A and B are shown apart, each in its own frame.
Chain A
Amino acid sequence: MSPDLLAATGLLGLAGSAGGAVVGLRFRIPVVAGTTVAACACGLVTAGGVLSGGGPVTLEVGGIMPLSGFSLSLDPLGALFTAVTAVIGICAVIFSLGYHGPGLAGRPASTALPLFVTSMLLVPAASSVTTFLVLWELMALSSLILVLSDQRRRAEVQRAGEWYAAMTQAGAAAILLALVLLAGHAGGQSFAALAGHGPGMASWVRNGAFLLALVGFGSKAGMVPLHVWLPRAHPEAPGPVSALMSAAMVNLGIYGIIRVGDGLLGGGPEWWWLTVMGLGAISALFGALHSTTSTDLKRLLAYSTTDNMGLVLLGVGASGIFADTGHRALALIALVAALLHVVFHAVFKGSLFLAAASLEQGGGSRRLDDLGGLLRRMPVTGTVFLVGSLAISALPPLCGFVSEWLLLQAMLHGLPTGDVAVAVAMPLGVAVLALTGGLTAATFVKAVGIGLLGQPRSRGAVDASEVPAAMWAPSGVLALGCLALGVAPVTLVPAVLRAARVVTPAGVGDPLRHGWRLGLAGSRGVLDPVLLGLGLVAAVAVAAGARRLVQRGPVRRTAAWGCGREAQTSRMEYTATSFAEPLVRVFDDVVRPNRHLDVSHTSESRYYVESIEYHSSLDDDAFERRGYLPALAALRRWGDLARRAQNGSVHRYLAFGLVALLVVLVVVG
């Protein structure tokens, strides 16, 4: 396939960005949206060609950047990520046409949006260290501008931006060190050279590069404990941007770990992958717990991104362990499961974030306790959110179930391999998967049940109305994708298999059954999503028919039982906080909410209570409170000390010079 379309992707992105900077307000949005969608379409076609077996697409442009040139090469692994980004990009950009939220029409945001989308499309295609780093940094900076779109009006946005900037730059620095370390020892900076020399390098180089890459890419993927920016930045960004960040950008963190660990370094010792699995397990549990307790819809979704990336890391880690212990087929299956989950997560999280932005626009708030009753008022958006929620809870026949099933199968079949680490890691992996599954179900029943069902909890929710088609259509397409991919994963599995083969040991036959049924070759059981879906639909239809048969007269609308009270107000409903309270209590030691109880008594007697105030908040998590805030405070103390040392007095500087000279003399002597 010719590289023209890949070049077109980049050029369209640059043109869109220039258009966003130059064109006046009236035509700015159509120009930006049009070029960005076109860039995504070019990327999608290129990636589709590569994924359907067309061979890698390579593009070398000398002279753009000094010394190195610009080199892109899209192989199936990269193409999978490019394709996902392209689909999410198209949906999010079309969505932004109807979105009235903050600041997207402004000049900075219009300039940044095409750059952000295009750099995400091209990062997986980068095939040299400099190209990769330039695109990566472009993605980080443009997304930072987009996160800050609304910073004039709300102080939280600025704080979120600070966290994001610090974490993303620290991550980029770690990636830079890792890649430079590799490039230095490989004697070249193209990925081909790195991959050629990577497996033979000294073990300290390999270990160092892998750990640095894990830190850098892991922070982008929202891996605990480097996740702190994610639940701040994703909710504060404008709706379509949160969808892009949560459904497309975090994937690139996973891509980086796979590319460096499996690709450039050619796999590694077991302890690398046990680390990845461990961090994945902690991320999954931690993200799931915090999304269970969140009452802000977008924050809940952001924490659930950490959760899902944790599950993906479980798969990536399992794949690495299998590859290291020589179980090639299992390594391939585990990686396919992880990559499938990346794709599915993008689809359902994209639809959920877009639907959440619609709910915020329609219902006037993104706090769950201000919403309610929206399924009746915003039927399409509500249904989209419901479908996305069922998919993320891994319920059949939607897509989340397929990838979790495959991951469970990989872990199950890896068990009897006789390796102690595997024997310990795999059951724990299954337990983590199961616990996060249960917590996710609870979380999204809360999100749907409190946010969309019941009585409206605020004026805004009472007056809510459906959003324009430009907004519900893209999220609806993604929700349909959840259903289609859940019933027919066969459409995706060959492409994912091709992507996974790029970085797993060669010489494996076909480890998966082909066709509509998904199963492991050589194992009796299969998953038949079509049959499952048809069976469910048929059984529901039969039950509905039976109910129809016995029904006499129309359904009567009645008042709900209120223990004898006539009126049921929305203040009597369960809130998001009360819904999660039992779970918070069960997991109190992990979650550790901030609780304040103030009881004031009447002046006459201590036995009579005048008022009770109870606050419980989970705004900062344990890692932040225990790790980051003390570290930041220590940094600030050191900064203060350093400032005290520099008071501008000439005498003091002369003294410093003398002391330094003496120290040098002592050391040299």
Chain B
Amino acid sequence: MSGPWPAATQLAVSTLQVGGVLVGGPLLLGLTRKVKARLEGRTGPPVRQPWRDLRKLAGRERTRPEQASWIFPLAPLVLVATALVVAAGAPLVAVNPAFGTSADLFAVVYLLLLGSVALALAGLDTGTAFGGMGASRALTIGAVAEPALLVAVLALSIPARSSNLPAIVSSSLAHPIWLASPQRLLALGAFLIVVLAENGRLPVDNPGTHLELTMIHEAMVLEYAGPDLALVTLGESARLVVLLGLLANLFAPWGIATRPGAATLAVGAVTVVAKVGALGVGLAVFEVFMAKLRLFRVPELLSGAFVLAVLAVVVALVVP
């Protein structure tokens, strides 16, 4: 952190981040699909295919199941909104976007939980077995993932003595040696597993399948069509980008803009895109070699993540 940030620059950074997350989300999905297809020996659809799908969905009719209440149309909006609010305040391109002083890591966790809760309620609102099944499974995984995530957050917050996101990122920029410390690596492991679980990626959920019974997320949103489905997809992909972006900048903050200026901001934007893209490719490669876990083995994976996070905290306290 050096030099004061003009408010206009901060607002511009936030706008850039929100726009980037919105546009980049579906592209990231396209990228992972493309990489997976190539590794499996297929050509695969082009990277911009998800955007084409979204355009097609936006032109369709809106539907609502007979039994559903106003929760059903509201949930996709809440999902997108939570991802965008996080995107506006999180240090993705620059250390200090607008609202940076209020960008709190605990608040991020609970905001994302709000999005999941909205979607689960919408699943139950449809009054079908699939919706209930998806909601129940998603929340079971969420309930087990949350302790791992929060304790990992705690481990990250200890060196900075704050759970403020810009504070964490700038303190690790100031002390790069912390990044290689064992507690960081342990917390990284926990964080990675939780990101996979929260976004319904393999080995927790299979984003490629469309069979109702085997899925979690897809079962929950089965009744959405047209623009609502487009919003759900957009919201989910925005969540993935935000979480991967946070992961990248919490554990490898190099390149992020620490002072205002067109050049540094451009560097920050390019590096964060590159980092998220690299993580997306890594995710795709990982998924090619991974099979989906049985649902009741998932909590074991997540409790593994929890143990990693607790170890991270313990190490952080022993090795200051």
Contacts and interface: CB of A to CB of B under 8 A. Distances in A.
A581 B296 CA distance: 11
Nearest to A563: B212
A449 B69 CA distance: 11
Contacts of A517: 101-102
A427 B232 CA distance: 35
Interface stretch (A26-34, A73-81, A429-437, A630-638): A429-437
Given A396-B111, A449-B124, A435 B231 contact: no
A61 to B, nearest CB: 49
Contacts of B28: none
B127 A525 contact: no
A568 B128 CA distance: 7
A523 B162 contact: yes
A431 B306 contact: yes
Nearest to B126: A560
A261 B5 CA distance: 48
B163 interface: yes
A393 B117 contact: yes
A572 B310 CA distance: 41
Interface stretch (A310-318, A354-362, A404-412): A404-412
A524 B146 contact: no
B58 A415 contact: no
A517 B104 CA distance: 12
B136 A557 contact: no
Interface string B207-237: 0000010000000001100011001000000
A413 B71 contact: no
Interface residues of A, number: 85
A586 B144 contact: yes
Contacts of A523: 161-162, 164
A525 B101 contact: yes
Given A375-B69, A412-B158, A586 B296 contact: yes
Contacts of A556: 61-64
A349 to B, nearest CB: 19
A434 B128 contact: no
Contacts of A524: 101, 162, 164, 166-167
Contact of A416 (B85, B131, B133, B317): B317
A445 B127 contact: no
A539 B102 contact: no
B31 interface: no
B147 interface: yes
A386 B58 CA distance: 30
A430 B154 contact: yes
A363 to B, nearest CB: 15
Contacts of A581: 136
Contacts of B74: 540
B262 to A, nearest CB: 26
Given A434-B147, A438-B142, A573-B132, A450 B124 contact: yes
Contacts of A430: 150-151, 154
B102 A532 contact: yes
Nearest to A559: B66
A416 B143 contact: no
Interface string A119-151: 000000000000000000000000000000000
A528 B101 CA distance: 9
A573 B127 CA distance: 6
A561 interface: yes
Contacts of B110: 394-396, 401, 405, 437
B47 interface: no
Contacts of A411: 154
A555 B129 contact: no
A438 B147 contact: yes
B135 interface: yes
Contacts of A572: 128-129
A63 to B, nearest CB: 55
B46 interface: no
The prevalent SS among residues of A at the interface is: helix
A442 B136 CA distance: 8
B102 A412 contact: no
Residue with the highest number of chain B CB atoms closer than 10 Å, among A375, A540, A563: A540
B120 A439 contact: no
A433 B231 CA distance: 32
A332 B59 CA distance: 56
A453 B71 contact: yes
B61 A390 contact: no
Contacts of B101: 517, 524-526, 528
Contacts of A574: 124, 129, 131-133, 135-136
B93 interface: no
B270 interface: no
A395 B110 CA distance: 6
Given A449-B132, A555-B64, A434 B149 contact: yes
Contacts of A535: 85, 88, 99
B107 interface: yes
Contact of A445 (B62, B63, B120, B150): B120
A455 interface: yes
A527 B109 CA distance: 13
Contacts of B142: 438, 441-442
A528 B117 contact: no
A34 to B, nearest CB: 38
A434 B151 contact: yes
A373 interface: yes
A301 B135 CA distance: 21
B67 A412 contact: no
A491 interface: no
A453 B84 CA distance: 27
A454 B163 contact: no
A525 B162 contact: yes
Nearest to B141: A582
Nearest to B62: A555
Interface stretch (A156-164, A465-473, A542-550): A542-550
Interface in B126-185: 126-133, 135-137, 139-140, 142-147, 149-151, 154, 157-158, 161-164, 166-167
* CB-based closest 8 A-B pairs: A574-B132, A525-B164, A449-B124, A438-B143, A539-B81, A454-B127, A434-B150, A438-B146
Given A409-B163, A431-B147, A441-B116, 13 more contacts: A375-B71, A395-B110, A396-B111, A415-B317, A434-B151, A441-B142, A454-B127, A525-B164, A539-B84, A550-B58, A552-B59, A556-B61, A560-B126
6 contacts: A405-B107, A528-B102, A540-B78, A556-B62, A573-B129, A574-B133
